[in-house]
Amino acid sequence: MKIAFVGKGGSGKTTLSSLFIRHLAANEAHVIAVDADINQHLGAALGLDEAEAAALPAMGAHLPLIKDYLRGSNPRIASAETMIKTTPPGEGSRLLRVREDNPIFDACARTVRLDDGDVRLMATGPFTESDLGVACYHSKVGAVELCLNHLVDGPDEYVVVDMTAGSDSFASGMFTRFDMTFLVAEPTRKGVSVYRQYKEYARDYGVALKVVGNKVQGPDDLEFLRAEVGDDLLIGVGHSDWVRSMEKGRPSRFELLEADNRMALQALQDAAEDSYELRDWERYTRQMVHFHLKNAESWGNEKTGADLAAQVDPAFVLDERHAGAGATAPA
Ligand SMILES: Nc1ncnc2c1ncn2[C@@H]1O[C@H](COP(=O)(O)OP(=O)(O)O)[C@@H](O)[C@H]1O
Ligand SMILES: [Mg+2]
């Protein structure tokens, strides 16, 4: 299951991602957490101290390794240099599994010990607003997109991405890579405006989008959100003293999180599971090809000097049949 948290800066993406990740771990799910937010705070929100968070490897710094590994023996991808962030897998490509060990996880993932189990954390590494605007083959967030496009995930396996939604994620197709996108919105006009923009992109691609109200203070706040986003409103999360005391450097055990907030997290998991059941792998593959062709034409061919449309393996569908550890896509 692939899940994104998006929203305005300060809305609570990182906070809710981290709570959701803790909740999944408490439910014995297998989790890879990915920090792709412009402000890299997910590690800290998961309890890493400053030194541990600073020591996290940056996916952006390992792009050549990521590309080389995923390319495998795919004859349609001549070199890692011609592999752009939208290059889809095909026969011979290596696929990723949430639970396996592989060179990409060795280089880019670190195990984070939570109260209720371990998760793996990956981080893009710091980037700036200007990085988000450019359609670039060495884009840091592109490393995440490549991994998502090569990842075969089962129902009890979660990838949770804390994400900044820039124009890049719309142009590249990143925003279509998730079974569920949780748009975190404070009950303000600004919070809701991000929703409207996202919704517009999402509509054409059948992206499952739910609004999670955050810092909701009462029925008025919920009513406001309901009026603005209608049925897309999944739930409202209130102020959490648990979160606040964590921010004071006095973390308490996750089981002590407020009951209302625990229920909200369960509602998020239920919504994600319902949506995963509707996953259409063929459509999922088709969409990655669509965005690859778009990127090839608009900048990729020129940048690499290759015809990147030729990278598409027309017969290939990413799906659960490619289930083995360290799986290679069969002919
Ligand atoms: N439900 C909540 N209860 C208490 N504090 C919250 C809550 N949601 C967010 N915060 C606080 O608001 C600030 C911004 O949240 P953060 O998750 O970093 O936002 P984002 O990742 O969207 O920029 C943080 O200091 C965070 O602890
Ligand atoms: Mg954040």
> With bands split at pLDDT 50, 70 and 90, how would you rate the model's confidence at 104?
very high
> With bands split at pLDDT 50, 70 and 90, how would you rate the model's confidence at 331?
very low
Residue 100, Cα to own-chain centre: how many angstroms?
A: 18
Q: Kindly give the distance from the C-alpha atom of residue 42 to the centroid of ligand 2, in angstroms, as a whole number.
A: 7
* Ligand 2 ion local residues (Cβ < 5 A): 13-14, 37, 39, 41
Does residue 132 register a pLDDT over 90? no
308: closest CA among 36, 118, 85? 85
Q: Which residues pair with 184 in a beta bridge?
A: 7, 212
Return the structure tokens found at 183. 């748009």
Mean pLDDT of the chain: 92
State residue 70's pLDDT score. Answer: 98
> With bands split at pLDDT 50, 70 and 90, how would you rate the model's confidence at 133?
low
By the 8 A CB rule, do 186 and 215 touch? yes
CA–CA distance from 157 to each of 141, 170, 183, 201, 273 (Å)? 21, 25, 21, 27, 11
pTM, 2 dp: 0.95
Q: What is the pLDDT of residues 137-174, one digit of tens each?
A: 567 889 999 999 999 999 999 999 999 876 667 888 99
Q: What is the pLDDT of residues 222-256, one digit of tens each?
A: 999 999 999 999 999 999 999 999 999 898 999 99
State residue 196's pLDDT score. Answer: 92
> With bands split at pLDDT 50, 70 and 90, how would you rate the model's confidence at 187?
very high
Q: Kindly give the distance from the C-alpha atom of residue 162 to the centroid of ligand 1, in angstroms, as a whole number.
A: 13
Nearest bound ligand to CA 182? 1
> With bands split at pLDDT 50, 70 and 90, how would you rate the model's confidence at 50?
very high
Q: Kindly give the distance from the C-alpha atom of residue 247 to the centroid of ligand 1, in angstroms, as a whole number.
A: 9
- The more confident residue out of 139 and 268 is 268
With H, G, I as helix, E, B as strand and everything else as coil, classify residue 178.
coil
d(CA 316, CA 91): 7
Q: What is the mean pLDDT of residues 297-320?
A: 95
User: Does residue 190 have its Cβ closer than 6 Å to ligand 1?
Assistant: no
State residue 325's pLDDT score. Answer: 44
d(CA 286, CA 288): 6
d(CA 143, CA 63): 6
User: Does residue 9 have its Cβ closer than 6 Å to ligand 1?
Assistant: yes
Q: Relative to the CA of 11, which ligand 1 atom is closest?
A: 22
Q: What is the mean pLDDT of residues 275-279?
A: 94
User: Does residue 215 have its Cβ closer than 6 Å to ligand 1?
Assistant: yes
What does the CA dihedral 207, 314, 138, 160 come to, rounded to 10 degrees? 40
d(CA 294, CA 16): 33
Q: Does domain 2-312 have CATH number 3.40.50.300?
A: yes
User: Does residue 240 have its Cβ closer than 6 Å to ligand 1?
Assistant: yes
Sorted by where each begins, the domain ranges of the chain are: 2-312
